[in-house]
Amino acid sequence: MSWIDIADVNDIPERGARVVKTPLGCIALFRTGPAEVFAASNSCPHKGGPLADGIVHGQKVTCPLHNWVFDLNTGEAQGEDARIATYPVRIEAGRVLLDGAAIGKRDAA
């Protein structure tokens, strides 16, 4: 993995999110605790709702448009046959790092 420094962990509010633009599109960084951050697609597969604007609770996020709940560990939607993409992320010395190899890949159409 090739890690890319994205932000200071304190740039993301606890139980909140920030969006970064990547070759795959917008990825949301969700901070679920003082030293816990998840990275996932910012777009709900139902109606394209901006997940970074949703409610972060536990290790989940609720879509602001239609209340679908996504597990930030797996990307799976609770009670729905849908999922969002998740990406490797880690915190090192207070910095949020994303796996550059994972966010640089795009499948051929």
Tens-digit pLDDT profile for residues 37-61: 999 999 999 989 999 999 999 999 9
1-5: average pLDDT: 88
How does residue 25 score in pLDDT terms, banded at 50, 70 and 90?
Answer: confident
Helix (H, G, I), strand (E, B) or coil at 31: strand
Q: Is the model's pLDDT at 79 over the cut of 90?
A: yes
CA distances (Å), origin 27, targets 19, 83, 89? 6, 14, 11
In a domain, 108, yes or no: no
Which residues contact residue 77 at a Cβ distance below 8 angstroms, ignoring those fewer than 6 apart? Answer: 45, 68, 69, 70, 83, 84
Give the tokens for residue 2. 């090739």
Residue 8 located in a structural domain: yes
- Whichever domain contains 80, its CATH number is 2.102.10.10
Q: Is residue 96, in this structure, part of any structural domain at all?
A: yes
Structural domains counted in the chain:
1
Dihedral (CA of 56, 58, 63, 66) sign: negative
pTM assigned to the model = 0.91
Q: Which domain holds residue 93?
A: 3-103
